[in-house]
Amino acid sequence: MRAILTLPLRVAFGCYAVVAGLTVTALVLPILVVTPGLRRRRALARVGARLIFGLIGARLRVEGEEHMPRGQAIVVANHASYLDGIILQGALPPDFGFVIKREVTRVPLVHLLLRRIGSQFVDRFSAQGKLRDARRLVRIAANGEALAFFPEGTFGPQPGLRPFKLGAFAAASRAGLPVVPVIISGARQMLPAGSLLPRPGRLHVRVTPPIQPGAMAELDARALLAAARRRILVHLDEPDLERGPDA
């Protein structure tokens, strides 16, 4: 009976959360279009992201902000929900460009918003496209751009940390930038894969100390990947899917 009674409340909350998100986006997007300066636009998007979570009562708690390096860095975070990009937008300083799958460019308004805050779009399927995008990201990182990646590349209904792609770590190694592992908690529970309506919840972002790259690019990229993955697993209350669901 309790589950039956709470279902309408969950649906009502989910609808309210969607309306709140769309309303804030509709207010912020026109301002983003005309606002000069990339950092200003990112700061505005950060305010918008925090406003969304504030309106739905999902307090976004950020821990370890003092670990974020001054200047350029590569942030890597676990990926469990469509909320993750909004969460990082609200949690990180307005210095980061997000690396996002190219499929989102098919959604015109979302594409416009992400492009205005300096996001980079990458091909996940074409071998030639992936190589081209990897080279472009290395150049961008080498030119001093701070980037935020979800190195798993995607997420699914099964809890756990998926294997990482090498791209973020190759860019960090070749550009000589520190890698900052970030752990997002609560997003999977709030908007699970396959769900259209968010649920009530709390969100926690933990920023951990940066990992510095070494001298040998390819070997060091793999070492950076392994070190960042270990760091995230320490703080993530989910299994290591690279070793199997029971690891």
Residue 243 lies in a domain: no
Decide: helix, strand or coil at residue 41.
helix
* Strand extents, DSSP E, 102-224: 120-122, 146-149, 179-185, 203-207
Mean pLDDT of 133-140: 82
Q: Nearest-CA neighbor of 201 among 214, 185, 190?
A: 190
* Alpha-carbon gap, residue 88 to 138, rounded angstroms: 21
- Count: domains in the chain: 1
- Vertex 221: Cα angle to 220 and 224 (nearest 5): 85
State how far Cα 49 lies from the chain centre: 12
In a domain, residue 242? The reply is no
pLDDT of 213-223, one tens digit each?
Answer: 875 556 689 99
User: In which residue are the tokens 């001093």 written?
Assistant: 144
Q: Average pLDDT, whole number, for the chain?
A: 88
Q: Locate tokens 């992936």: which residue?
A: 130
Average pLDDT over every residue of 28-32: 94
- Structural domain harbouring 104: 2-235
In a domain, 247, yes or no: no
Q: Helix 2-34 to helix 38-55 angle, to the nearest 10 degrees?
A: 160
Residue 240 belongs to some domain of the structure: no
The set of residues, in sequence order, having a beta carbon less than 8 Å from that of 39 and lying 6+ positions away, is 94, 95
pLDDT single digits (tens) 74-131: 999 999 999 999 999 999 999 899 998 888 878 888 888 899 999 988 877 776 777 7
Question: Can you tell me the distance from the alpha carbon of 16 to that of 171, in angstroms, rounded to the nearest whole number?
Answer: 40
Mean pLDDT, residues 60-69 = 94
Report d(CA 239, CA 161) in Å as an integer. 6
131: domain CATH number is 3.40.1130.10
On whether residue 156 sits in a domain, the answer given is yes
Q: Which pLDDT value is given to residue 1?
A: 38
Of 159, 189, 175, 185, residue with least CA distance to 220: 175
Residue 93, in any domain of the structure = yes
Which amino acid appears at position 167 of this protein?
G
Q: Does residue 105 lie in a domain region?
A: yes
Of 121, 47, 72, 93, the closest CA to residue 205 belongs to 93
In a domain, 54, yes or no: yes
